[in-house]
Amino acid sequence: PLYRQSQIFARNGVDLPRSTLAGWVGGACWWLEALHERLAKNVFASNHLFADDTPVPVLDPGRGRTKTGRLWVYA
């Protein structure tokens, strides 16, 4: 999470607020969107498609425990 990254930078003498990190992440997402679209087009156009469904614990505020999320990877 970005708050942890901000804390790590602060411990090393670098003042880098979460808002700055969030802006960088958003900017990176914008620049990488075209690459993502191109990769997805190539993967889904192939003769073979492999998929992996991995359960991932996800925090669920208010329930006092985690719930199971899903992470799907295609190749």
- pLDDT number for residue 50: 93
CB 42 within 8 A of CB 58: no
Contacts of residue 59, defined as CB under 8 A and 6 or more positions apart, other chains included, come to: 66
Domain boundaries, the chain: 2-74
- pLDDT number for residue 32: 97
Number of helices (H), then strands (E), belonging to the chain: the values are: 2, 2
Residue 1 — pLDDT band, cuts 50, 70, 90? confident
Residue 61 — pLDDT band, cuts 50, 70, 90? confident
Dihedral class, residue 13 (left if φ above 0, else alpha if ψ from -120 to 50, else beta): left
Percent of the chain with pLDDT over 70: 100
